[in-house]
A = this chain, B = another copy of it.
Amino acid sequence: MKHIISIDISPCHANKIGPQHGFTDIEFKELTKSIKQYHNVLIKEREEKKYGFFELYKDKATHNKIKEISSKFLGQGIENLVILGIGGSALGITALNTALNGTYYNLLSKEDRKGYPRLFVMDNIDPVTFKRMMKLCPPQNTLYNAISKSGETAETMCQLLIVLQELENTVGSEKIKEHLVITTSPRGENAPKSLLHPIADKYGITQLEIPLNVGGRFSVFSPVGLFPSAMLGFDIEALIEGCAEMDTLCSNDSLENNPAYKFAGIHYILDINKGKKISVMMPYSDRLKDIADWYCQLWAESLGKKEDIKGNNIFNGQTPVKALGATDQHSQIQLYREGPNDKIINLISVENQNEVLLVPDILNEISELEYIRGQSMNDLLLAEFQGTKDALTLSQRPVIHINMKEISEFTVAQLLYMLEVATAMAGKLYNVNAFNQPGVEEGKKIARQLMLEIKKNKV
Contacts and interface: CB of A to CB of B under 8 A. Distances in A.
Given A128-B353, A129-B286, A331-B300, A443 B199 contact: no
Interface residues of A, number: 130
Interface in A347-401: 353-360, 362-363, 365-366, 368-381, 383-384, 386-388, 390-392, 394-395
A154 B223 CA distance: 43
B387 A157 contact: no
Nearest to A120: B104
A154 B381 contact: no
Interface in A426-449: 437-440, 442-448
Interface stretch (A45-53, A225-233, A311-319): A311-319
A128 B379 contact: no
Given A154-B380, A439-B338, A129 B103 contact: yes
A317 to B, nearest CB: 3
A343 interface: yes
B337 A316 contact: no
B321 A319 contact: yes
A293 to B, nearest CB: 8
Interface stretch (A27-35, A59-67, A161-169, A251-259): A161-169
Interface string A291-334: 00000110011011110000000011101010010110111111
Given A86-B326, A126-B286, A296 B331 contact: yes
A277 B342 contact: yes
Contacts of A75: none
Contacts of A106: 104, 107
A34 to B, nearest CB: 22
Given A198-B365, A198-B366, A326-B125, A332 B381 contact: no
A212 interface: no
B300 A442 contact: no
The 10 A-B pairs at the shortest CB distance, nearest first, are namely A87-B330, A304-B335, A317-B339, A387-B447, A387-B446, A304-B339, A391-B443, A297-B331, A306-B338, A127-B357
A454 interface: yes
A61 B383 CA distance: 41
A120 B373 CA distance: 24
Q: How many copies does the complex hold?
A: 2
A117 interface: no
Contacts of A126: 103, 285-287, 353, 377, 381
A130 interface: yes
Interface of A is mostly: helix
B278 A319 contact: yes
Nearest to A340: B315
Contacts of A366: 195, 198-199
A369 B338 contact: no
Contact of A86 (B330, B362, B438): B330
A306 B331 CA distance: 16
A332 B376 contact: no
Contacts of A363: 161, 164, 199, 202
